[in-house]
Amino acid sequence: MATATKKGHLATSPAHNGRAVSKRASLTFLIYSDNSGGHHWEIADATGKSHTRSASFASRDRAVSAAREVYEGVRSASFEPAAAAEPRTEAV
């Protein structure tokens, strides 16, 4: 079962999929466990739509700690809507 731990607000109005996001969109960090025993955090909006999900953590405490780190870091982040110079790739 998902449990809300922190709420944040989006300070700017970026477009997402062609739709504008309100200046103060309500976002919630949810912490939950999956069927294989992993723990995740997820950021969802007021409608319940998920915008991002973490990797799996071994314990709920680690997932909460990671979510709190992201929450604290985002509060001081700047928003730079410039495209990256080179496409990013992920190691497989």
Q: What is the residue extent of each domain of the chain? A: 3-75
Using CA atoms, how far apart are residues 73 and 32, in angstroms rounded to an integer?
Answer: 21
pLDDT at 10 over 50: no
Residues 21-64: pLDDT tens digits? 555 668 999 999 999 999 999 999 999 999 999 999 999 999 99
Residue 76 is predicted with a pLDDT of 86
16, pLDDT greater than 70: no
Q: What's the pTM?
A: 0.59
Residue 76 CA: distances (Å) to CA of 23, 32, 38, 71, 90: 17, 26, 29, 9, 26
